[in-house]
């Protein structure tokens, strides 16, 4: 007998980590007859199974007004406090409406009790759980104490009680061991570690005719060696290191392609990267205008490709991030059987590297040895195939839907008392 599950978050739309991982959870739950419903401030889910509440979105003007007045300062005005609680009281009412409308048995709070992008929503959900004892799985992607921009704030009292709350009907889930340890240390709360996953049981298909024009459309020749940087253009992604690697290869056929657009913090970074690439004589191409969520045509009649299409055409993946909450692009490189350069960010060192991942690893800077290893991967077909096949099997063992299914079974059984998963 399946149960009715409501996902609660600020946004379920697009390709951010929370939206993607929640969709994977819903897919696995659906396989076991558990039906999912959606609550959020920005949604691309089916309206028939969703409750759209604009004030739940962190980009809503009223929420931005609050954030501008509580972060980077030490005190807040009575008006700010009043607005926070007024909005949270309204949002609490919508949570009651959501659970009644769809007759829900369980809520999954997706990062909204973790990072204070929408403080009223976190408070509303905390109060709702305290009042009802409703079963909740709190899925924590990145805690506020992991982000410098929240370190100076005027809402320490609210963060301490709602991000996340410690209530008996909440089961906590963290995506990495550092978060698991921090939650235990800071809140005294145990959590189940569920890493981000991909469907390794279903390998990607062979490239089709549609994607055959990708390289030409982004300005590459058929025999070019395509280095793909599959991330947004923000400083913490360390894209300057990818430029250094391609520069070090001294091969005009090596081209660096960046798939995503710049974030709000990245426009100056884009200019700096262009200047660096020109200085290092690296062919750098930003192709976000041709990569979207779905295959379609733009207004000019040009093909729009998916990120999966970009991976299928890449020869090498660069992932020199300075910090990651987990590292979805690394899993994607494993899934699409592509060799990958990794800057040894902390979660990679603690959670992924010990599993035996075979990557080109760097420690904060590119050395001659780094470049030599990349060159060997490009030139030695057998070495490259052994590496990528090993990583695919590692992904199947530790980061697959099978792993997610096993972990979710524990959480659901804790609520239903019967293993109907």
**Structural domains of the chain, with CATH:** 4-197+401-416 (3.40.50.2000), 210-398 (3.40.50.2000)
Cα–Cα dist 162/185, whole Å = 16
Task: Supply the pLDDT for residue 32.
Answer: 77
Cα–Cα dist 349/326, whole Å = 11
| Mean pLDDT, 10 residues at a time, the chain of 421 residues | 93 88 94 91 96 97 98 98 98 98 98 97 98 98 93 98 97 97 96 96 94 96 96 93 98 96 75 96 95 93 96 98 92 98 96 97 96 98 98 97 96 82 56
DSSP sequence for 69-120: HHBSSS---HHHHHHHHHHHHHHHHHHHHHHHHTT-SEEEEESTTTSTTSHH
CB 275 within 8 A of CB 284: no
For the whole model, what pTM was predicted?
0.91
- Cα dihedral 21→214→305→281 (10° resolution): 70
- Spell out the residues 6+ positions from residue 101 whose beta carbon is closer than 8 angstroms to its own: 51
Task: Supply the pLDDT for residue 416.
Answer: 84
Phi, psi for 85 (deg, rounded to 5): -75, -30
Task: Supply the pLDDT for residue 29.
Answer: 94
Task: Supply the pLDDT for residue 263.
Answer: 64
Cα–Cα dist 351/159, whole Å = 27
Q: List helix spans (H) across 220-327.
A: 239-249, 267-280, 307-313
Give me 247's structure tokens: 């520069």
Task: Supply the pLDDT for residue 394.
Answer: 97
Going by DSSP bridges, is the β-strand pair 340-343/316-319 parallel, antiparallel, or unpaired?
Answer: parallel
Task: Supply the pLDDT for residue 142.
Answer: 92
């Amino acid at each position: 007998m399946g149960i009715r599950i409501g996902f609660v978050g600020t946004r379920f739309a697009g390709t951010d980590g929370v939206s993607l991982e929640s969709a994977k959870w819903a897919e696995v739950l659906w396989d076991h007859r558990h039906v999912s419903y959606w609550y959020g401030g920005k949604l691309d889910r089916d309206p028939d199974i969703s409750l759209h509440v604009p004030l739940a979105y962190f980009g809503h003007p009223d929420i931005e007004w609050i954030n501008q007045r509580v972060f980077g300062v030490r005190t807040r005005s009575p008006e700010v406090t009043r607005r926070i609680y007024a909005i949270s009281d309204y949002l609490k009412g919508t949570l009651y409406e959501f659970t009644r409308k769809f007759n829900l048995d369980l809520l999954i709070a997706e990062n909204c009790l973790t990072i204070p992008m929408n403080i009223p929503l976190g408070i509303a959900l905390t109060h709702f759980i305290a009042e009802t004892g409703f079963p909740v799985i709190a899925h924590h992607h990145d805690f506020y104490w992991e982000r410098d921009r929240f370190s100076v704030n005027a809402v320490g009292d609210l963060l301490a009680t709602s991000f996340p709350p410690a209530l008996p009907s909440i089961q906590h889930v963290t995506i990495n061991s550092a978060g698991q340890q921090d939650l235990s240390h800071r809140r005294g709360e145990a959590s189940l570690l569920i890493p981000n996953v991909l469907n390794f049981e279903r390998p990607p298909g062979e490239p089709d005719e549609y994607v055959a024009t990708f390289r030409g459309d982004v300005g590459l020749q058929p025999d070019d060696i395509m280095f793909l940087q599959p991330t947004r253009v923000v400083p913490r992604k360390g894209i300057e290191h990818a430029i250094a690697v391609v520069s070090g290869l001294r091969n005009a056929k090596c081209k660096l392609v960046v798939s995503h657009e710049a974030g709000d913090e990245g426009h100056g970074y884009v200019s700096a990267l262009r200047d660096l690439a020109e200085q290092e004589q690296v062919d750098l191409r930003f192709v976000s205008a041709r990569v979207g969520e779905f295959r379609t045509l733009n207004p000019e009649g040009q093909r729009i490709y998916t990120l999966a299409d970009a991976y299928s055409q890449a020869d090498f993946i660069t992932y020199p991030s300075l910090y990651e909450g987990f590292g979805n692009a690394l899993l994607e490189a494993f899934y699409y059987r592509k060799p990958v350069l990794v800057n040894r960010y902390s979660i990679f060192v603690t959670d992924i590297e010990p599993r035996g991942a075979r990557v080109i690893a760097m420690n904060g800077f590119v050395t001659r040895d780094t470049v030599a290893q990349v060159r060997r991967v490009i030139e030695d077909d057998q070495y490259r195939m052994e590496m990528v096949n090993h990583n695919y099997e590692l992904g199947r063992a530790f980061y697959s839907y099978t792993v997610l299914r096993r972990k979710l079974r524990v959480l659901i059984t804790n609520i239903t008392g019967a293993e109907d998963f």
